[in-house]
Copies of this chain bind each other. A is one copy, B any other.
């Protein structure tokens, strides 16, 4: 058993991490913190937990104090800017971190500053952090696991954003195969449930605003854009341009990201719908959490609700020479807390599906 804590456990992603960790066969959840709800029983904030756990919130400080003695791993579920302050002292105490905020996802401090509007206070950790999308960076994560196991150092995983997870999984096989036209922009449209907007009540999250409503938001300006571009560029080994537009729809949990990828002229010579289907099936054949749906089938977010699974559908349009692929995930699951557990499983040398299979 490894002892773990969740810092920032009262938000939606933190509480989801708690839910998963309470059922985990190896990680033992021994502390959950929330500065706003310190000393309250978890069940008083989330009645779901009544009868399932006696855990109460403590303050962040209470976790950080002597963390090295008490925890092997901390899940950070605090907002960005808070994470980059908490991570360095934890690492120094030898506590590994899976950070669910955006603070360690972008490699370049300058990119972080230009999209988040402030200076990074722990830029040296940007190089150290591994981006926690196992379907792309499994070996890097396993290297960290080896370092950790060898007792050499505490490790830091930057858990991906929800939109980047779904978008990258939809585009990955085509990009990796080098089929995308290098001169064209990949257009990504995604739709999220309202839990993505967080727990704080606002006009946006008011039921009467969100219900029976659809809208785009953050067009051309959403902060997940550089994160998607960074990963796809890495896969393509060149700069990939991305036009990302997220939308809000009236559901609590669920996300679909649909990518339209213009193929190169070369690729168009041989591209077929069947070929793309096979490309996707082959690429994901060994992935425990990614299912490629049968040809002509696009995934439903409801099929992956509350879990770590991603489902992907792919189509090819010969008249436009574009691949259209769509990926469905649970934005709080594979898009946040469940993927964090998946990363933690890898970091600690466990079966990658521990606590996540069903």
Contact = CB atoms under 8 A, between A and B. Distances in A.
A214 B253 contact: no
Nearest to A254: B214
A306 interface: yes
Nearest to A317: B220
Contact of A252 (B202, B207, B219, B358): B207
A170 to B, nearest CB: 10
Copy count, this protein chain = 4
A260 interface: yes
A50 B291 contact: yes
A211 interface: yes
Interface string A13-40: 0000001001100000000000000000
A174 interface: no
A250 B253 contact: no
A345 interface: no
B298 A214 contact: no
A328 to B, nearest CB: 7
A202 to B, nearest CB: 5
A260 B187 contact: yes
A113 to B, nearest CB: 16
A250 B247 contact: no
A220 B316 contact: yes
A117 interface: no
Given A205-B208, A328-B214, A251 B249 contact: yes
A271 to B, nearest CB: 12
B47 A300 contact: yes
Interface size for chain A: under 10, 10 to 19, 20 to 34, or 35 or more residues?
Answer: 35 or more
A303 B47 contact: yes
B208 A47 contact: no
A243 B44 CA distance: 28
Given A12-B208, A50-B291, A184-B184, A214 B251 contact: yes
A251 B213 contact: yes
A316 to B, nearest CB: 7
A288 B50 CA distance: 11
Contacts of A313: 216, 219
A219 B298 CA distance: 8
Interface in A255-294: 255-256, 258, 260, 262, 288-291, 293-294
26 contacts: A23-B358, A47-B293, A47-B303, A48-B302, A50-B311, A52-B357, A185-B322, A187-B189, A187-B322, A189-B260, A191-B249, A201-B203, A205-B207, A206-B206, A207-B207, A207-B250, A207-B252, A212-B254, A212-B301, A214-B254, A214-B256, A215-B326, A219-B326, A220-B315, A245-B326, A247-B258
Interface of A: 12, 19, 22-23, 44, 46-48, 50-52, 184-185, 187, 189, 191, 193-195, 199, 201-203, 205-217, 219-221, 241-243, 245, 247, 249-256, 258, 260, 262, 288-291, 293-294, 298-306, 309, 311, 313, 315-317, 319-320, 322, 324, 326, 328, 357-358
